Amino acid sequence: MSNAFLRLISGSEEYSYSLLTAGEVVLGRDPNSCQIVLDSNHYGMVSRRHATIRPSKTPDGRTSFILYDLSSANGTYLNGQLLQGCQELHVGDRITLGNNGPEFFFEYQYKYQYNSQSLGITQPASTPTTAAVNSSASSFSTNDHTSLSLLIPLLSSPTDLTRKAYLVPGMITVVFVVLLFFAQGFSYQILLGAYLASASLYVIYQLCGKPKPWWVLASSALTTMTILASPVLNILILVFRGILPGSVPEDTSSISFPELFIRYFLGAGMLEELLKALPIIGFYLLGKSLRSSRRERIGVWEPLDGILLGSASAAGFTLFETLGQYVPGRIAEVAQEMGTEAGFGAGLQLLIPRILGEVAGHMAWSGWLGYCIGLSILKPRLASRILPIGYFSAAGLHGLWNSCAGLADSLGVFVLGLLVIVGGISYTLLATAIVKARSLSPTRSQNFATRFFQK
């Protein structure tokens, strides 16, 4: 069974309106003739009778829903395009009444009915008596028969074992553990770093709940790593650290905190957040050239897409920066004084917190910017305001983190408190963006993380 409905997001609240299968539903401000009535004080751009949705029987017997504009003053928009005549609605479609007016999402809420045959359970035709229950209980207690599926549950596993039992991430963990037993030296650190970065990204993936292909996320990470190894990085460095005052000297003791922040804001925040956003932009442009079903799956067309691709890009950036710069430098520094074995141990101490901390660092900043990019695609008329806010706030948090870390020599252990505050704000920003993106998602009813919380 299925129940079609419209979902209206208004600030922090949302409202659902069921659609009729035997009559039309009119949207507008007139309480006498509209089934979905909008407050004229908040939605002045909506006509008294703005649009209507009418059910229609298809040749195969199902019910479809057709959107009509009722000659409204400001028009009706379907997925950002002005509606001409009428159009059949599909799950995830976005209906906007007027320019920057209220937005509705067309969705289906699926309700499943289970019966005894579908679950493989045989039920009696009537309610059993007490004697019958006692008799069956006695029979069960004396029954020593055990089926093969009870002894070996794998033989009766569900078809979606890979999703319900987390088989794939578990098997990946087993593979990495086995490889770590045999790896030595820097290979050990590469394997461990790759596993920790993948685990961090998997947490973000589960929180978002949108089934994005893993090859797309891996491509986003690899694209960022390729950019870091290409002349594009040199061009960005020239702009932000050469033309703009974004370079930071090795000795920062003589620089005031405001100046240090500005330098990190330009040379680290704006530079690196732009670099990590390039794969998001690339997949958006790629998706525009694909057909509808593949465009939504591969490209960027909502905030959840931007968060996932931004987080994946950040994972690639962190791996490249940590394993290509910081860890080798730390190993060489310590090995020169204390030996190679001590050097690898010091490198490992640096590797683990840098990778695990990316959920409150690079992943948080890039995920937030990805949210803003996806939101600007979902609401193109507001893109000129959304994108600058997302970019500068992500770069600001990035620059603030680096600036606080630069105070380690003067503040000592107290700098840890500052980093905890900045990291906590960054992760909270990402978490709230994920929650909001899930509520805005046109495919909300199909997202596994969102469905988990539905009652």
**Per residue in 10-28, pLDDT tens?**
665 678 888 988 889 999 9
Residue 427 confidence (pLDDT):
95
pLDDT band at 168 (very low <50, low <70, confident <90, very high): confident
Buried b / exposed e over 242-273, threshold 16 CB at 10 Å, is eebebebeeebeebeeeebbbbbbbbbbbbbb
CA distance 354 to 366: 16
Residue 451 confidence (pLDDT):
47
Residue 141 confidence (pLDDT):
42
Q: Rounded to two decimals, what is the model's pTM?
A: 0.70
CA distance 320 to 176: 19
Q: Inter-axis angle of helices 362-378 and 303-321, to 10 degrees?
A: 150
Assigned domain for 268 exists: yes
CA distance 217 to 370: 13
Q: State the amino acid at position 294 in one-letter form.
A: R
Residue 49 confidence (pLDDT):
93
Of 72, 91, 110, the position where a domain reaches its end is 110
Judge if 183 and 94 occupy the same domain: no
**Per residue in 407-441, pLDDT tens?**
777 776 788 889 999 999 999 999 999 999 988 88
Judge if 77 and 192 occupy the same domain: no
CA distance 230 to 114: 56
Judge if 27 and 166 occupy the same domain: no
CA distance 44 to 42: 6
Judge if 287 and 167 occupy the same domain: yes
pLDDT band at 140 (very low <50, low <70, confident <90, very high): very low
**Within 13 Å of residue 323, how many CA atoms lie on the same side as its CB?**
21
Residue 133 confidence (pLDDT):
38
**Per residue in 80-137, pLDDT tens?**
889 988 999 998 889 999 877 888 999 886 544 444 343 333 343 443 444 433 444 4
Mean pLDDT of 439-446: 78
> Is the model's pLDDT at 348 over the cut of 70?
yes
CA distance 153 to 149: 5
Q: Which domain, by its residues, includes 36?
A: 2-110
Contact (Cβ atoms closer than 8 angstroms) between residue 273 and residue 398 = yes
Judge if 214 and 348 occupy the same domain: yes
Assigned domain for 123 exists: no
Assigned domain for 134 exists: no
Q: Find tokens 């710069």 and name the residue.
A: 325
Judge if 93 and 221 occupy the same domain: no
Residue 360 DSSP one-character state: G
Helices (H), 159-230: 161-164, 167-182, 185-208, 214-228
Residue 262 confidence (pLDDT):
95
Q: What mean pLDDT, rounded, does the chain reach?
A: 84
Residue 161 confidence (pLDDT):
56
Tokens of 185: 């030296």
Judge if 252 and 400 occupy the same domain: yes
Q: Find tokens 């730390």 and name the residue.
A: 330
Assigned domain for 143 exists: no
Judge if 96 and 210 occupy the same domain: no
Assigned domain for 388 exists: yes
Judge if 70 and 193 occupy the same domain: no
Of 110, 132, 148, the position where a domain reaches its end is 110
How many domains is the chain partitioned into structurally?
Answer: 2
CA distance 303 to 330: 38
Judge if 169 and 245 occupy the same domain: yes
Judge if 83 and 189 occupy the same domain: no
Assigned domain for 128 exists: no
Q: What is the CATH number of the domain that holds 35?
A: 2.60.200.20
Q: What are phi and psi of 65, to 5 degrees?
A: -125, 130
Judge if 105 and 189 occupy the same domain: no
Residue 236 confidence (pLDDT):
96
Residue 147 confidence (pLDDT):
52
Residue 241 confidence (pLDDT):
94
Residue 11 confidence (pLDDT):
61
Assigned domain for 437 exists: yes
How many other β-carbons are positioned within 10 Å of the β-carbon of residue 75? 19
Of 68, 95, 110, the position where a domain reaches its end is 110
pLDDT band at 231 (very low <50, low <70, confident <90, very high): very high
Query: Minimum mean pLDDT among 241-250, 324-333, 440-449: which range?
Result: 440-449
Buried b / exposed e over 100-139, threshold 16 CB at 10 Å, is ebbbbbbbeeeeeeeeeeeeeeeeeeeeeeeeeeeeeeee
pLDDT band at 252 (very low <50, low <70, confident <90, very high): confident
Tokens of 211: 């089934």
Residue 15 confidence (pLDDT):
84
Assigned domain for 42 exists: yes
How large a percentage of the chain has pLDDT more than 70? 83
